[in-house]
Amino acid sequence: MSDDQAIEDQIEAKGLNAPRISLAHVQEMRRRVFYRFEQPVNTTTTFCHAFLDGTFYLGSGHSACVSPENFDAQVGQDAAMRKAQQVATDKLYELEGYRLWAEMNRPEVVSD
């Protein structure tokens, strides 16, 4: 079970049902995240960049190995992507949390 799922289960078990960003909402948004890889020439470093809807930058992950003999592009991509996925998930919670907070705290418009 993921840490996010454990927290979601705890929230539900306690009946905390005020407006919030749910794990299901973030999981749905994660389906819209695209990942791009970059491996600078003559390095053992791999970067993975996460973009919402392919254009809005959420964050990056990277991996590297000390010995060029140990470098494997797929292993580097896998490690970098795991890190980028966590960064993207954290950013989605943050951005969606702010969006919800702004909606809940929008000043009421008084008309004459």
Average pLDDT over residues 15-19: 92
Residue 68 scores a pLDDT above 70 = yes
Mean pLDDT rounded to a whole number for the chain: 94
Q: How many residues does the chain have?
A: 112
Reduce the DSSP state of residue 49 to 3 states and report it: strand
* 8 Å CB contact between 96 and 29: yes
Task: Enumerate the β-bridge partners of residue 49.
Answer: 36, 60
The pLDDT value recorded for residue 2 is 79
Average pLDDT over residues 14-27: 94
Average pLDDT over residues 52-81: 97
Question: 108: which DSSP letter?
Answer: P
Q: Which two tokens stand for residue 96?
A: 């969606």
Average pLDDT over residues 12-18: 93
Domain 33-102: give its CATH architecture: 2-Layer Sandwich (3.30)
Q: pLDDT band for 64, please (50, 70, 90 cuts).
A: very high
Pairing of strands 33-38, 56-64: unpaired
